[in-house]
Structure 1
Amino acid sequence: MNLLITCLTIFLTMSPLTLALRFRQGLQDPPKIGVEPPKEMWYNQSLDHFKPGDSRTWLQRYWINWEHYKVGGPVLLMIGGEGEANPVWMNTGAWKDYAASVNGAMMLLEHRYYGKSHPTEDLSVKNLNWLTSQQALADIASFITSMNQEHNIKGRWIALGGSYPGSLAAWARLKYPHLIHGSVSTSGPLKAKADFYEYLEVVTDALDKTRPDCSATLNDALKKVQMMTRKRSNWGSITNMFNLCTPFNGNALVDITNLFETLIGNFEGIVQYNKDNRDFEGAKWTNITIDTLCSMMDDNELGSSLDRLKAVNDLSLKMSEEKCLDHTYKSMVSELQEVGWDSTGAAGGRQWTYQTCTEFGWYQSSDSPKLNLGKLIPVRFFEYMCTDIFGPKFDIDLINKGVEDTNTYYGGLDIEVTNTVFVHGTTDPWHRMGITETNKSGMEAILIPGTAHCANMYPPSPQDPPALVAARKRIGELISKWVSD
């Protein structure tokens, strides 16, 4: 399933299973620079914006960079998403150049329930009641109103976000146009959909564009694993082949699905973030690309397709610094059932899973009619997971209602909003849930060939393809136009 999030750190430390479920969504961290970020500050935020008389508040974290600001200038607001906000962004990224060009301030607001912005004492189901995109948008509106008063800001506000916050940026302009004058929605999925099988379609296409037989070799290996799961005599070989933490049990269907979700997820995560401009001195594993994986899947010296799949899984374990692969459904669910703020799930997994179960869906299944994978990862696997994590009320009907309500409230791909640009990369699977072309007045779409998730938000690089360079330039032109109209 899967901003402002410290994805790189979590990507390297969390279990592969949690990774597969949680972190194929989100903006990864930019390169660190020598400049100290501004200090964190706290805004006294309302718990429930839509219940008159509810006076409860909590402290929401934010940062401000006034470096480029001149009196009367605009404010560029980067919206936080499904993980801890990283203040490194306050001194880097494409938006820093935009701020300099328009004499604007830079502000970053952490999303409620993520990072250190804790509205409630824990993450129990009753306390997740106020975790919605609508409440998050109202947080933004309240924050803007307060900052205007506190700092006597007269300039216009421009919202920016990547991935889920890319969606929030567009929705914020839609719902609060009197506060937000323009929005840059990067890699933002706008259409809620439970069965997001299109994700794997894009992954397969990306593999084949890299090497013609890459996905075919992967499919062959997956079918061989599937055959092995059906005979008890092969279970020990599966355990050893994929370095499982516990013996494989072919009678546990959810564990089988979980194993396939991880094996395929090893490819999905690399495709989504392929060559996304985070390659910097001291960084780990940013050089692992689609080319890397497809070279392995095409390497006859590694052995059969099964041996090559094993090699990719070994690499993934090495990247995550895990000694073994915990493939059990019970372990994954148990982690996401934890309610304490100091739990592993509180890094974002439990909260984001809750949002997918109540608002968005976006489950990356293998149900595509275009792919020959069958029911390796059925959408019902994720739908039943909602019930197992949060309780019987969180069933398939609730997911479907949440998806329908979200599309009705925001408009899905039929959204009508002005002063908004939608930016996507063709290699990013999330572009299939976003706007990649439009002829509506006030809306613009930029589809960048060959680029990955949120690529245009990272600092420019000499290796950037011309289309990415042009996209950043066009975004800057639009921001300049919006703040000066």
Structure 2
Amino acid sequence: MKACLLVVVALVLFSSLGESKRRFSRFKDVSTRRVKSRDQTIPTPDEFFFANLVDHYSFVHPTQTYQMRYLVTDAYYLGKGYPIFFYAGNEGDIYSFYNNTGFMFTLASEFGALVVFAEHRYYGESLPFGNQSYTKENIGYLTSEQAMADYAVFISDYKAQKPELSESKVVVFGGSYGGMLASWLRMRYPNVFVGALAASAPIWQFEGQMPRGGEQFSEVATRDFLLSGPECPTGIRAGFEEIMIQAGRGQPGLDLLTEQFMLCSPLQSDQVYDLVSFLENGYVYMAMTDYPSASNFLQPMPAWPVDVSCQYWLHKKPTSPEELFTAMRLSVGVYYNYTGEAGSCFDINEDISSNLGDQAWNYQACTEMIMPVQTNGKTDMFLPAPWIYSDYVTYCQETFDVTPRPGWTDISFWGHQISAASNIIFSNGMLDPWRPGGVTYNISSSVTAIIIQHGAHHLDLRTPLPSDPLSVQMARSQETEIIRSWLE
């Protein structure tokens, strides 16, 4: 979702041509870069702002507030006593989440619920200090704890101001990072939220919490392509390796890369890893959003985009660098330019340039959201890029003047010790690269894991369609009945 998460900045170190270069592979949910056209089955919301505290955990400036944006639709609301379905906004413009969470409206229709979406502080229009929100002096109020306090205070006040809602139970929803927030909101504020549906929520993707030797993000992404045919990840891996060979040839190799990948500007020697990151991100985002129907979620893509991408590799054995790069350009183009509307060349800086939303998430990834992603080039289809924590710390100190606290999530968000929690659904798709960091087994009778065999990143939250696999239809049915039990 920008969904989507989920979202993460992974610092990796590449060595090539006798020197090292840092690069960021932003395997994160990026749909909130832009607000996509809305599903016509989703009702148009009313937009409001709520004066929330800038700092919920200090009494030094008790009156300092900011305007938090939220959206409401009462299209399905049946009146007093009926529930509130609340979406915990994640890293981006709240309309992107509203427009891509159609299952909430299906549920609202069934349960007569009021639907509310709240925007995460420091994203969209919910900027505590306006265009000065990202300065060193002001960005320190950007934490998940502050955001969750925003939501708990807001929904409590909202109910208090509307007598007909005073007894309404609140179910919190979220996908990716929003799903993490949803689960944590139920843990931290069980008096406010009766239950949580946390879709594709990698709450165990943190430093020190991932099991050693377990399946990795990059391996799941690779397996998604492998399911379309072994030639696909084999060809992609060979393409990445050939890029580095050509980069080692100097200017002739750079010229060849510029020509074969149809880049908008000549590739420079210090941009080779930008090209690699651009290509990696395209393949990873296709794996994350490998949906069974055409979508406009991250980019306009066809149904089952991984299968479409792999058609350029199947039953073909490229025998030259030119043939390798042509197949790679066409296959990754399924993500970047499937409709042809993006133009006749690739701008590799477009995907990796920072915007305000990226800057905010990068800061969060340097403080609380330390979520390692690495590649090895053997069990995955990417170039080797190990997770090196010391380099990550250096980047965070140089960029934001902060030092990560990798153990904080264990303390603040319970780590693996969540058996005391209740009324949480953790759903994960087998096709989703974030699945290894999620809760994939039942913790208790009321903290339930649902595995969706043919599901990508929080597919279950999207608008139900006839083309949906049986596995996601069954997951939604199970989620519906669990939510029903919370509301009885």
TM-score by length of 2: 0.83
Residue 450 of structure 2 aligns to a residue in which SS? Answer: strand
Alpha-carbon distance in structure 2 between the residues aligned to 1:289 and 1:480: 34
Aligned CA distance change for structure 1 residues 422 and 288 (closer, same or farther; 3 Å): closer
- Judged with a 3 Å threshold, the aligned counterparts in structure 2 of structure 1 residues 325 and 388 are, in CA distance, closer, same or farther, namely farther
Seen in structure 2, the aligned counterparts of structure 1 residues 382 and 264 have a Cα distance that, compared at 3 Å, is farther
**Residues 1:100 and 2:109 are matched in the alignment:** yes
- Asked whether 1:135 is paired with 2:138, we answer no
Query: Which residue is equivalent to 1:257?
Result: 273
Give the equivalent residue in structure 1 for 2:365: 356
Pick one of 37, 58, 63 that aligns with 1:51. 58
Q: What displacement does 1:34 show?
A: 6.8
Q: C-alpha separation between the residues in 2 aligned to 1:88 and 1:189?
A: 18
Counterpart pick for 1:422 among 423, 426, 442: 426
Give the corresponding residue for 1:318: 337
Gaps of at least 5 residues in structure 1 are 8-17, 337-344
Matches within 5 A, 1:244-283: 244-250=263-269, 252=270, 255-275=271-291, 277=293, 279=295
Q: CA deviation at 1:105?
A: 1.1
What secondary structure does 1:321 align onto?
Answer: coil
- CA drift of 1:245 comes to 4.0
Which of 60, 71, 87 is the aligned partner of 2:68? 60
Question: In terms of mean alpha carbon deviation, does 313-322 or 170-179 score higher?
Answer: 313-322
Question: How many matched pairs?
Answer: 449
- The structure 1 residue matched to 2:83, chosen from 74, 89, 92, is 74
Q: Which residue number corresponds to residue 473 of structure 1? A: 477
Stretch deviating more after TM superposition (208-217 or 22-31): 22-31
Residue-by-residue CA offset, 1:20-52 (whole Å, 9 max, x unaligned): 637535689685217761320111100000011
Q: Secondary structure at the match of 1:37?
A: coil
Q: In the alignment, which residue of structure 2 is the partner of 1:458? A: 462
Which residue of 24, 30, 43 corresponds with 2:29? 24
Tell me whether 1:40 sits opposite 2:51 in the alignment: no
- Quick one: distance in 1 between partners of 2:99 and 2:333? 36
CA distance in 2, matches of 1:130, 1:85: 19
How many angstroms apart in 2 are the aligned matches of 1:35 and 1:439? 34
More helix by share: 1
Offset of residue 315 of structure 1: 4.8
The reply on whether 1:411 has 2:417 as its aligned counterpart is: no
Matched, 1:234 2:253: yes
Shift of 1:147: 1.0
Deviation at 1:428, TM superposition (A): 0.7
Q: Distance in 2 between matches of 1:34 and 1:288?
A: 22
Name the counterpart of 1:10. Answer: none
Contact 1:90–1:108 under 8 Å retained in 2: no
Alignment CA distance shift 1:110-1:33 (3 Å): same
TM-score normalized by the length of structure 1: 0.83
Aligned equivalent of 1:13: none
Q: Which runs of 4+ in 1 moved over 6 A?
A: none
Equivalent position of 1:149 in the other structure: 160
Cα distance between partner residues in 2 of 1:480 and 1:204: 37
Q: Call closer, same or farther: CA 1:4–1:409 in 2, change over 3 Å.
A: same
The match for 2:308 among 292, 296, 306 is 292
User: SS where residue 107 of structure 1 aligns?
Assistant: strand
Once the 2 structures are TM-superposed, how far is the Cα of residue 288 of structure 1 from its aligned partner?
6.3
**Would the aligned equivalents of 1:63 and 1:87 in 2 still touch at CA under 8 Å?**
no
Distance in structure 2 (CA, Å) of the matches to 1:93 and 1:460:
7
Give the % identical residues: 22
How far apart are residue 139 of structure 1 and its match?
Answer: 0.4
Q: Which moved more, 1:184-193 or 1:237-246?
A: 237-246
Is the 1:31–1:279 Cα contact (8 Å) retained in structure 2? no
The structure-2 alpha-carbon separation of the partners of 1:65 and 1:43, relative to structure 1 and needing over 3 Å to count, comes to same
